[in-house]
């Protein structure tokens, strides 16, 4: 049976309704809304850990469109919907009429008649924006070529749990200025985290993302350092974060990228520059010996599996809020 105080606390959180809102990129949410989602995730996580059944999404269905392979995204969304009392329906993009040329606009309108929200993991962010434009239900970005908002929320949740705060935490990201990096820095800047990004020349954050990060940081009082020097970014960092050097869709560039990113590996030397109690984070899957050494990712400062678990709780908060 649900603890009355826990339920009252959660319902108080839910009064800040985001019902019907799309989740395409994190900077479409205010810092206050992101904080609300994090607190909601913490509450839902506590409920689940204590065996309290809370199913606000009974009778609701989440349609899940996958054009890209997935482990964490598919499992966490399916389990999350089940725990919230709803149903998650897997749909391969290749098996839908989208794969035979049906317009995205038509698909959006049809699925809006069947399901209560759509989560899509695909290549083109523009396609997700088009889906959201024509759908009458919430659209959740499970990953595109430009953004990965659900991962960023889980990342902030993980830092909050381990550090007890977000404001003033120094986070260093080393590697490719990709979709994961983009959402990570936007969420961090909005929540007052000091952002340090070290990328090789030619692999920086998109200009629009970098400028938006600075604007969000100015509002929250956070600091932003964009550099090509991994040591500068890592010095005194509370969090070290990296991602694969070759994301899906860039496999043809793998050999070039291995050379370009060679000095950006998070290894024992880089870890020594960070605060002794730093967290090591990676969105997974990881390639040990490339972007990170086994000693770091499997070491005592690593929280990568807490991160992976928190995809479940962060996404449950999103689902409960928008559905």
Does 97 appear as a known binding residue?
Answer: yes
Does 196 appear as a known binding residue?
Answer: no
For 59-94, b where at least 16 C-beta lie within 10 A, e where not — what string?
A: ebbbbbbbbbebebbbebbbbbbebbebbbeebebe
Longest dimension (CA), the chain: 57
Q: How close are the terminal C-alpha atoms of the chain, in Å?
A: 23
Does 151 appear as a known binding residue?
Answer: yes
283 assigned to active site: yes
Does 150 appear as a known binding residue?
Answer: yes
Does 113 appear as a known binding residue?
Answer: no
Crossing angle for the helix pair 31-49 and 179-190, to the nearest 10 degrees:
100
Does 148 appear as a known binding residue?
Answer: yes
What is the full DSSP assignment across 164-228?
A: S--TT-EEEEES---HHHHHHHHHHHHTTPEEEEE--TT-PPPHHHHHHHHHHHHHHT--EEEES
Give the burial class of 41: count Cβ atoms within 10 A of its Cβ; 0-12 exposed, 13-18 middle, 19 or more buried.
buried
Which residue in 48, 212, 243, 278 is the catalytic one?
243
315 assigned to active site: no
Catalogue the E-assigned strands of 202-320.
224-227, 239-242, 279-282
Does 146 appear as a known binding residue?
Answer: no
311 assigned to active site: yes
Which residue in 43, 116, 121, 125 is the catalytic one?
121
Does 121 appear as a known binding residue?
Answer: yes
Does 72 appear as a known binding residue?
Answer: yes
151 assigned to active site: yes
What is the full DSSP assignment across 88-134?
A: EEEEETTTSGGGGT--HHHHHHHHHHH-SEEEEE-S-HHHHHHHHHH
Which residue in 25, 125, 148, 196 is the catalytic one?
148
Residue 65 is inside which H or E element, if any? strand 61-66
Pairing of strands 239-242, 279-282: parallel
121 assigned to active site: yes
Which residue in 146, 196, 278, 311 is the catalytic one?
311
Does 127 appear as a known binding residue?
Answer: no
Does 284 appear as a known binding residue?
Answer: yes
Which residue in 283, 307, 313, 315 is the catalytic one?
283
Q: Output the known binding site for L-ornithine.
A: 179, 243, 247-248
* Residue ranges at the known binding site: 70-73, 97, 121, 148-151, 179, 243, 247-248, 283-284, 311
Residues annotated as binding site for carbamoyl phosphate? 70-73, 97, 121, 148-151, 283-284, 311
Q: Which sequence positions are flagged as catalytic? A: 121, 148, 151, 243, 283, 311
């Amino acid at each position: 049976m649900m603890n009355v105080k826990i339920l009252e606390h959660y319902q108080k959180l839910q009064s800040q309704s985001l019902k019907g809102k799309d989740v395409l990129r994190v900077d479409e949410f205010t810092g206050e809304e992101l904080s609300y989602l994090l607190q909601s995730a913490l509450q839902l996580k506590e409920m689940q850990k204590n065996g309290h059944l809370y199913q606000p999404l009974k009778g609701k269905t989440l349609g899940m469109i996958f054009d890209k392979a997935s482990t964490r995204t598919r499992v966490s969304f399916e389990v999350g919907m089940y725990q919230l009392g709803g149903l998650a329906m897997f749909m391969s993009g290749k098996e839908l009429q989208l794969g035979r040329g049906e317009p995205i606009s038509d698909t959006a309108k049809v699925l809006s008649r069947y399901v209560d929200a759509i989560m899509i993991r695909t290549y083109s962010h523009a396609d997700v924006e088009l889906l959201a434009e024509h759908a009458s239900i919430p659209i959740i970005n499970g990953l595109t070529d430009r953004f990965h908002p659900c991962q960023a929320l889980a990342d902030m949740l993980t830092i909050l749990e381990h550090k007890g705060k977000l404001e003033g935490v120094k986070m260093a990201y080393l590697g490719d200025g990709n979709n994961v990096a983009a959402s990570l820095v936007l969420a961090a800047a909005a929540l007052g985290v000091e952002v340090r990004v070290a990328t090789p020349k030619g692999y920086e954050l998109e200009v629009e993302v970098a400028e938006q990060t600075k604007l969000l940081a100015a509002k929250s009082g956070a600091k932003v350092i964009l550099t090509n020097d991994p040591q500068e970014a890592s010095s005194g960092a509370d969090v070290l974060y990296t991602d694969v050097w070759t994301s899906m869709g860039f496999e043809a560039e793998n050999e070039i990228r291995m050379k370009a990113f060679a000095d950006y590996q998070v290894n024992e030397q880089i870890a020594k520059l960070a605060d002794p109690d730093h967290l090591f984070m990676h969105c997974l899957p990881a390639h040990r010996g490339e972007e990170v050494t086994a000693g770091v990712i499997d070491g005592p400062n690593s929280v990568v599996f807490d991160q992976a678990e928190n995809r479940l709780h962060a996404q449950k908060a999103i689902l409960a809020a928008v559905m």
